[in-house]
Amino acid sequence: MGLLETISGPEDVASLLPEQLPQLAEEIRAFLIAEVSKTGGHLGPNLGVVELTIALHRVFESPRDAIVFDTGHQSYVHKLLTGRQDFSRLREAGGLTGYPSRAESPHDVVENSHASGSLSWADGISRAHELRGERDRHVVAVIGDGALTGGMAWEALNNIAGADRPVIMVVNDNERSYAPTIGGLATHLATLRTTREYEKLLDLGKRSLRRGGAPGRLAYETLHGMKKGIKDIVAPQGLFEDLGLKYVGPVDGHDVEAVEHALTRARSYGGPVIVHVITQKGRGYKPALDNLADHFHAVGVIDPETGEAQASSGSSWTSVFAEEMVAIGDARRDVVGVTAAMMIPVGLEPFARKHPDRVVDVGIAEQHAVASAAGMAFGGLHPVVAVYATFLNRAFDQLLLDVGLHRAGVTFVLDRAGVTGPDGPSHHGMWDMGLCRLVPGLRLAAPRDAETLREELREAVAVDDAPTVVRFSKGKVPAALPAIARVGSVDVLQGTRYEEGDDVLLVGVGSMLPRCLATAERLAAHGIGVTVVDPRWVVPVEEALVELARRHRVVAVVEDGGEVGGLGWALTRELDRTTDAPAVLGFALPQAYLDMGAREDILDAAGLSPQAVALRIVEAVAHHHGAGTPASA
C-alpha cells in the first residue's frame, strides 16, 4: 500500500515523518497524471502545487482554519488530502467537481472558478472570526501570480493590510495564469525571484572567499558592490511592506520543509502576511513542461505517456473564430484583439502571431479590458474583446456605462456561451443574452455554423457606433446548415409557407438550430407544417422576425441561455403589443445554477431535447385547433 492510500484526512498528512513527504508527493503526481489523463481536467496547475498543499495541511488545521483556493482549479491535491481519492468521474455528473465544492467536503470553502476573489473571501471570513472572538483561527488564501493581476485582489489586499487579523496570503508564483503572467506585478515578482538568485550568488561568493583565492574574492567583491545599488533601486519586498504586510519569501515551493517553515513562521505573526512561494507549473511531467504555451493548464483525454490528445475530428467554434480574426486583421489595421489572460483558450494566439503589436493581454482583469477597449474605440481603433461568456458577467458595468453609454464601436466575442458541461455552474455561459439585452443600442448575434460565424463576425466589426456581440458554444461546429431564403436579416432554413404562414414558426438560437431541425422532423411526422428560422441577430428583436411570427399560429423559440431576457422572453413582449398575437412557447435554460455534466445531457434535462420540444408544440397546435392532445411526439 502506498502512502497516498493511507491518507483519509489532513490529520494523516500531519502525522507523516518529514522523510516520507517526498514519496507522498511523487505518488500524488503519478495519481494525477494517470487519472486526469482519462477524464480531462486541470493538470498542469495541480502538478505545480503538490508540495505546497502538503505543507498547508501540515501547518494549518482545516477546516477550523479556512483554506481558500483562488480560482480553485488547483484544488485536486487538496481533494486527495481531504479524503477524496475517487477521480474516476472527475467533472462528470455524480463525480468530483473540478473546483472546490461545499457539497463534497467541509474542507472546501468557496465554490469558485473565477479568479481574484480569494482575498476578499479571506478578508470576510477573518472579520467574522474577529467579531465572534475566535482570534485563534487562521484564514489562508492561496492565490496565483496570474490572479493577482485582477483589480479585485488589490482592493481586498488594501483592506486586509489595514487590519490586524491572522490572514496568510500564499502567492503561488509560477509566472503564469493560462499563459505567462504580464504587467507590472509580473515584473515585480520577477524582481523578487532575481533577488533570491542574487542572494544565492552572494552566498556562493562568501563560501569561495573563505576557501581563499583571487577568483573568489573578486566574485564576492563584485557582487557585494552591486548589493546596495540593487536594494536601493528595487527594494522588492517594499511593495508589500509599505502596505503594512509582513513578507516571507521567496520560498522554493517544491521543498516541503522550506514551505512548512515559512508557513509556520507566517502563522506565528498573528496578523496579515504574504508568503511568496515559487512553483513550477506541470512539475514532474515532461509533456507539460515541454508545452511552453500553457504547461497543460487544462487537458482533455490524453495519452498519459506522451501527453498527446485523443484524436477528434471537426473544427471547434474557437478555431473558426481564430482563422476569421486573422483574415479580418489582415484587411483592417484598426482591428485589435483584447484578452484577459486567455490568449490561447479564446483563439487570439494566431492573430497575435500575425499581428503581435495589435493584441492586448491585460491579465485577469475583465473590467479593465472592457473600459480600456472603450478608450481604444475613442482613439480610432476597433477592439475585439474575446472572453468566455461567463467572464463577461464581471465587466457588465463597463459594458453598460463605458462602452454602451458612449456608443463605442467594440465587438465582444463570447466563447463557451450556453452550457459548457464539465466546469459546472460558475462556467455555464447562460447569462450573457439577458445581460446584453439591458444595454441600449447593443446588437448580439448567435451563429449556427462556421459560415455564419465568419459572416456575423464581419458584420459585427463593421459597426463603429455601438457595441456588438458574437456568441458561440463550446465544442465542435456542426455541419453547414444552409438557408433556403433570407427575410430581412432572418435566415429561413426549412419551410415553404413562411411568407403566408404555417402551423408553427420554430426559431433556433445559434447552436440550437440542429435540435430545431430534428424537432421539425418529428412535427412533420404528425402532419404539422413547420418553418425553421435562424434570426442571426437576436438582440434586439429584429422586426423581420416579429412579422414572420405574426403569420404563424404557434411560435416556439429554442435557446441555450436563461429564460429571463432571452429571445423567447423578448419576442413575447414584442408580440404582446399587437392584436391576435400567436402563442409563444419559450424553450430556454431555467434561471438556476446548473450542475456539471455532459453538455447534451444538461440540455436534455432542461427540456431542450427534440422530443420534449416537439411534444409541447404538438400539444399547443392541438389546443389551437381545439382537438385532443396526442400522447407523444
> What residues act catalytically?
281, 366, 394
Identify whether the C-beta of residue 140 lies closer than 8 Å to the C-beta of residue 60: yes
Q: Please indicate if the annotation marks 366 as binding a ligand.
A: yes
Angle at alpha carbon of residue 382, lines to 378 and 383, rounded to 5°: 100
> DSSP characters for 128-163?
HHHHTT-TT--EEEEEETTGGGSHHHHHHHHHHHTS
Q: Please indicate if the annotation marks 269 as binding a ligand.
A: no
Q: Does an H or E element contain 507, and which?
A: strand 504-508
Q: Please indicate if the annotation marks 285 as binding a ligand.
A: yes
CA distance linking residue 613 with residue 92, whole number of Å: 25
Amino acid at 511: S
Q: Please indicate if the annotation marks 485 as binding a ligand.
A: no
Q: Please indicate if the annotation marks 145 as binding a ligand.
A: yes
Hunting for cell 557585494 — which residue is that?
224
Task: For residue 492, give the DSSP letter.
Answer: E
Kindly provide the residue ranges of all beta strands, DSSP E only, lying in 366-500, ordered along the sequence: 382-388, 411-415, 443-445, 468-471, 485-487, 490-494
Q: Please indicate if the annotation marks 178 as binding a ligand.
A: no
Task: For residue 417, give the DSSP letter.
Answer: B
Q: What does the block give as the cell for 221?
A: 567583491
> String of b and e for 42-80 (b: at least 16 CB within 10 Å)?
bbbbbbbbbbbbbbbbbbbebeebbbbbbbbbbbbbbbb
Q: Please indicate if the annotation marks 174 as binding a ligand.
A: yes
CA distance linking residue 466 with residue 460, whole number of Å: 10
> String of b and e for 461-499 (b: at least 16 CB within 10 Å)?
bebeebbbbbbbbbbebeeebebeeebeebbbbbbeebe
Residue 626: Cβ-neighbour burial (10 angstroms; 0-12, 13-18, 19+):
exposed
Q: Cα 384 from chain centroid?
A: 18
Please name which of 119, 175, 192, 191 lies closest in space to residue 150, comparing C-alpha atoms.
119
Residues placed in the known binding site for thiamine diphosphate: 73, 113-115, 146-147, 174, 285, 366
Residues placed in the known binding site: 73, 113-115, 145-147, 174, 285, 366
